[in-house]
Structure 1
Amino acid sequence: MPVRSLPPPTKRRKTAVGSTSFKSIEAQLSLAVAENGTLNPLADLLMLAYGSSDAREMSKAVYSIYRVFVLIISRGMLVHGGDDAAKLVRKWIWEKLDSYVELLVGLLQDEEPALRKSSLEIIFSLLKHLSTSQTKSSPTAQPQFHLAHFKHIVHGLLLCPPSPRSNGGSKYNSKTMLDVRENFVDVWFSVYDDIRWCFLREATTVLSKYSSKEYPQLLDNLLSIMEKLSTFPTDSSELNSWWVEELSVKPPKHKSAKGGAEEDDDAESMDENDEDDWRKFFDEDSNAKDTKKNGVKARTHTLTFHQSLYSLQAHRAVFTRTWLNFLPHLLSVSTSSNRALTTRALNIMHRGVLPHLTRPVLVMDWISACVDLGDTVGLLALNALFTLMRDYNLDYPSFFTRLYAFLHRDVLHLKHRARFFRLTELFLSSTHLPATLLASFVKRLSRLSLNAPPAAIIMVVPFTYNILKRHPALMVMIHKTEDNPGTDTDPFIADEPNPNSTNALDSSLWELHSHIHHYDSAVSTMARIFAEAFTKPGYSMEDFLDHTYGTLIETEVKRKIKKEPALVMELRKDLFPTADAGKMDDGVRDVVSDLWVFG
Structure 2
Amino acid sequence: MSPSSLPPQKKRKLASGDSKVKELEGIEANINKSLAEGGSLNCLVDLLDIARSSSDPAFLHKVLYSLYRSCVSIAASPKINLSKCQTEESKVVRTWLLERIGEFTDLLCGLMTDEEKALRTAALQILMSMLKHLSTAFSTASNMPQIHSIHFRKIVGALLLCPSSSRDGPIESEDHHKVQPDLRDTFIDTWLSSYDDVRWFFFRDATALLRSYKDTNSVPPQVVENLLSFLERLKTMPTEAAELNAYWIIELGTKPPKTPHGPNPPGDEPEEPTPADQDDWRTFFDDAPSAKSATPKSNQARLHTLSTHQCLHSLSSHRAQFSACWMTLLPHIASSPSLAARALAVLHRGVMPHMDKPVRLMDWVGGCVDFGGSIGLLALNALFTLIKDYNLDFPDFYTRLYAFLTRDVMHLKYRGRFFRLTDIFLSSTHLPAAILASFIKRLARLSLTAPPAAIIMIIPFVYNVLKRHPALMVMIHRVDDEAELDPFDEKETSPLRTNALESSLWELVSHRDHYLSSVSTLAKIFSEAFTKPSYALEDFLDHTYATLFETEAKRKLKKDPAVALEAAANLFPTSALGEGQTSDVVSELWAF
Q: Same fold by TM-score, threshold 0.5 exceeded?
A: yes
**Alpha carbons of 1:574 and 1:358: their partners in 2 closer, same or farther (altered >3 Å)?**
closer
* Residue 530 of structure 1, CA deviation: 1.8
**Gap regions ≥5 residues in structure 1:** 1-16, 256-260, 584-592
* Residue pairs, 1:312-461, within 5 angstroms: 312-331=315-334, 334=335, 338-461=336-459
Flag the 1:444–1:33 CA change in 2: closer, same or farther, 3 A.
same
Q: Which residue does 2:25 correspond to in 1?
A: 23
Structure 1 distance, partners of 2:267, 2:26, is 46
Letter in 1 for 2:200: W
Q: What does residue range 491-506 of structure 1 map to in structure 2 within 5 Å?
A: 491-506=487-502
Q: Quote the offset at 1:214 in angstroms.
A: 5.7
TM-score, length-scaled by structure 2 = 0.87
Cα distance per residue 1:523-553 (max 9 Å; x no partner): 2222222222222321222222222222223
Conserved 8 A contact 1:74-1:133: yes
- Which one of the candidate residues 127, 146, 151 is aligned to 1:123? 127
- Counterpart-to-counterpart distance in 2, 1:287 and 1:508: 44
Structure 1 residues 282, 361: closer, same or farther in 2, change over 3 A?
same
| Structure 2 counterpart of 1:152 | 154
Using the alignment, how far apart are the partners of 1:290 and 1:82 within structure 2? 55
**d(CA) in 2 for partners of 1:58, 1:64:** 10
Identity of aligned residues (%): 50
| Counterpart residue number, 2:225 | 220
* 2:49 counterpart of 1:47: yes
Change (3 A) 1:573 1:167: closer
Cα deviation, 1:140-185, whole Å, max 9, x if unaligned, reads: x221111111001101110011122244687995111101111111
Tell me, yes or no, if the aligned pair for 1:194 and 1:309 is still in contact at 8 Å.
yes
SS of match in other structure, 1:165: coil
**After superposition, where does 1:105-124 map in structure 2 within 5 Å?**
105-124=109-128
In 2, the alpha carbon distance for the partners of 1:537 and 1:455 equals 22
CA displacement at 1:277 relative to structure 2: 1.3
Shift of 1:269: 4.8
Q: Which amino acid is 1:462 matched to?
A: P
Q: Deviations over 1:209-259 (max 9, x none)?
A: 24665622111100111111222112211111111111121111135xxxx
Letter in 2 for 1:573: N
Q: How has the CA–CA distance of structure 1 residues 71 and 352 changed in structure 2, closer, same or farther, with 3 Å as cutoff?
A: same
CA distance in structure 1 between the partners assigned to 2:538 and 2:287 by the alignment: 45
1:323-355 alpha-carbon deviations (Å, 9 max, x no partner): 111111122xx3xxx211101111111122222
5 Å-filtered alignment, 1:456-475, equals 456-475=454-473
Structure 1 residue 494 displacement after superposition: 0.9
**Letter of the 2:526 counterpart:** F
| TM-score, length-scaled by structure 1 | 0.86
1:551 and 2:554 equivalent? Answer: no
Q: Which amino acid aligns with 1:62?
A: L
List aligned pairs for 1:579-594, cutoff 5 A: 594=584
- Residue aligning to 1:529: 525
In structure 2, runs of 5+ residues without a counterpart are 1-18
Hey, what's the Cα distance between the residues in 1 that align with 2:144 and 2:447? Answer: 68
SS at match of 1:308: helix
Larger CA deviation: 124-133 vs 285-294: 285-294
After superposition, the Cα gap between the structure-2 partners of 1:168 and 1:596, relative to the gap in structure 1 and judged at 3 Å, is closer
Distance 2:32 2:300 in 1: 49
Q: 1:287 to 1:164 in 2, by over 3 A?
A: closer
Task: Report the more deviating stretch, 437-446 or 371-380.
Answer: 371-380
What secondary structure sits across from 1:490 in the alignment? Answer: coil
User: What residue number does 1:10 align with?
Assistant: none
CA distance in 2, matches of 1:344, 1:474: 38
Aligned to 2:289: 289
**What do the CA deviations read for 1:356-406 (whole angstroms, capped 9, x no partner)?**
222222221111211222222222111111122112222111111111011
Q: Note the aligned Cα RMSD (angstroms).
A: 2.9
Task: Please state whether the residue corresponding to 1:289 is helix, strand or coil.
Answer: coil
